[in-house]
Structure 1
C-alpha cells in the first residue's frame, strides 16, 4: 500500500465494527442509568409509606400479644410479645429522633419517643403481671392503650400526608420516566440509523471497485483481452489487486503475441521440413528406381528356387526361398506393425541365411510361449539384435556360436530374451546402448543393417515408456538382450510352453 493514509479492508471493517459497537454500548448504558435512577426515586417515594405501615402493624401485634398475656398469662403470648417488641425496636431505629423543621421528620421524632415510652410501660405491665399485682397491671395496660392510640394516630397522620406528597411525586416521576424512555428509544434508533447508513457507505466504497474488477474479469474470461482493470485509489488491497491484474494482463498479451510468433515460426519450420521430406522421398524414389525392381528381384529369386528344385539342389532352393522371404518382409513390413509370430519367422529366415554364409557355425534354439505370438509390435526389431549378436559377439570368438531366443511373460508384459555365447559386451558399451547412442564394435566393423540405437528409440517411441530394452554381460560369457513389450490387453490362450 502507498501513503500514510492507506488502510487495509480488514482495518476498515474493524474500525466500522468498533465505532458502531462502542456508540451503541454508550447509548445503552445511558438509557440503563436513567431508567434505574428514575426507578430508584419511585421506590424511595413508597418506602416511607411502607415503613409507617410496618410500624402500625407491628405495634398492633405488640398490643394484641400484651393483652393476651395479661389475660391468660400464656407463655406463647409472652414469647410473641418479646418477638414483636424486638422487631418494633428495629423499625424505630430507622426513624428520625433529632429535632428538625420538616413536619414529617418532626412526626417521626414524636412517634419514636412515644414508642419508647409505650415499650417501657408495656414491659412494666408484664413485670406487674409476673408479680401478681392486678391493680398495677390494669393501670399499666390502660396507659399502654392510651399511648398506643397516640402512636396509631400519629402514624396515620404522617402516612396520609406522606402518601399525598408521594402521589404527586409519583405522577411527576412517571412523566419523567415516559419522556426518558421515549427519548432513549429515539436516540438509539437514530444512532442505529446513522450506523447502518455509515456501514452501507463504507461497504459500498469497498465493494464497488470489486464489482468493477469482476466485470472486467468476466470480459477477459469471455476472450476480450483488450480491456484493462480500472485503477481506483482506495488505499487498500483493491488498488493493489487491480494493478497486479493489469500487469498480469500485459504479461498474458505479450505471451500470446510471442506464442503467435513462435507458432508462425514453427509452421514455417514444419512447412520447410515437409518440403525437405518430400524432396528426400523424391530422391529416394529416384534412387530406388535406379535399383533392381523389388518385384523383379522376388520373381527372379522364386524362379531360381524353382530351377534349383528341378535340378535337385534342395539346399540352394531353401537358401533362395529364405532370401526371397527376407527381402519381401523388409520391403512390405518396414512401415507397418507386425506380430511377434511374423518377427520370429523373419529371424528363422535370417538364421538360415547366416548358417549358409558361415557354414552352419551358428546354433540357434528357442523356447516360445505360443500364447504370446499374436501381440503387436514394430517391425524389424529382433533381426537387428540377432545381427548384432553375430557381428559383435560370435564372429569375434573361436568355435561354434550359440544363440538362444525365449519368449515368456506375466500379466503386464511380454519378455523376449536373446542370449549368445560370444565375447560379451563391456559395461561401458552396454550403458551407451541403454542410453540409445549409436555404438560400433571394438574391432571397427560397423553393422550393415539397423543399429541397436534405432531399435531402442523406436520401441520407446512406440510404447511411450523408457523401460523397453535391457542389455548386459552374462556371467557365464556372452551377452543377453531382453525386450519388455506391454501386452496392451491381448488375451492369452491356455497353450503350454513349446520348446523348439
Structure 2
C-alpha cells in the first residue's frame, strides 16, 4: 500500500531531479560558451605575447652583438627560450587550423629564431660581415612578425564578430528557454499540487459527508468509495465497515426490542387468560384421576391432553424448544379437537424423525394449526382436513400446515406477511387458546432466525390454505 508520505517524497524527488537536470543543462551550456570565449581570448593574448617576445629577442640579439659578455648571452638565451615556448603553445593551439596566415606566421617565427641564432653565433666567432647581415635579416623578420600578428588578429576579430553574433543569438535562445522552463515548471507544480490535494481533499469530503449522514441517523447511505491506494482508502473501508456494524447493531437492538414487546404482549395475554395455573393444573389432574378410577379412559386422556396443552402455553414463552415438543403439543391439540368434532375433522401427521431436534420459538406450530382450524374448516358444515407434514433438505427443515378450508384472498395473505399488526382486524385472535395470531408467530420466527423468508403462505379461495415454514438448520444463515 502506498502512503501519502511516500507520494510526497516521490513528488519532491521528481521535482528535485527536474531542477537538477535543468541546472546541469544551464551549467553545461554556459560552460561551453565560456570555453569558446576563453579560447578566442587566449589566442589574442598568445599572439600579443609572441609579438612582444619577438621584439624582446631582437633587442637581446642586438645587445649580444654590441657586448657579447656572459650576462647578455644568458639574457638572450632566456628570451629565446620564452619565445620558443610561446611558439610551441601557438603551434598546439592552431594545430587543426587550415588558415594560410597562421602557417606563414609560424614559418616567420622559425626563421626569426634561426636568424637570431646565426647572428649570435657569428658574433661569438667575431665575423662582423656575417653577423651584420643576419642581424639585418633578424630585424626585417621581426617587423614581418609584427605585421603578420596584426593581420592574424584582424582575421580572428572578424571570426570573433560572427562568434559574438552567434553568442547573442544563443543568449536570446537561452532567455526563451529559461522563460519556457519557468512557465512549464510553474504549470507542472500547480497541476501536481491540485491533483495531489484533490486526491486528499475529495476523499476527506466524502468521509465528512458520510459522517454527517451517520450523525443524522442515516446508516444505510451509499458506501464511501475511495480509489487511492493509501491511508485514505483504509480509512474509507474502515468507515464503511463501522457504519455497517452500527446499522447491524441498531437493527439487532430494534429486533430485540420488538421481540421483547411481542413476548411481553404474549405474557400479558397469558396473564389475562390464566386463572391460577397451579390450581387449574391440580384440578385437572384430580378430574383425570377420578375419570381413570371410574374407568372413563377417554375422558381421562382428554383431560391429560388439555392439561399438557395448557401447561405448555403457560410456561416460559421466551425460551426456544425442540421441534419434537411443538409436535407433541399439536398432537394433544389434535386429540382435543377430534373428541370435540368426531368425524367432522380429519387430522393427518407425517414427519421425519431426523428433524425433531431443530430449535424454534415456543408456541409456534399449535397457534398455526389452531388458526387453520378456526379460520379454515370450523365453519364448514361438512368438516375438513388438516395435515402437518415435516421433511428436510440438506440445509432446511420444512414444516407444512395445510387445510382444505375456505382459503384467503391474496390481499389478506399479503397483509399477514407484511406484519402490519395495527392493520389487522381486532378479532384476529378470537377463539385462540393461546391468544396468538399468525402475525405474532411469523414475526417471532423472523427475529429468532434473523431472516425474513421463513414463512410462505399459499391460499386459494374455496380450496384451502398452505402455510410452509422454512427453518434453517444453521441459525442466522442467509
TM-score of the two chains, using structure 1 as the length reference: 0.47
Q: What is the TM-score of this pair, normalised by structure 2?
A: 0.49
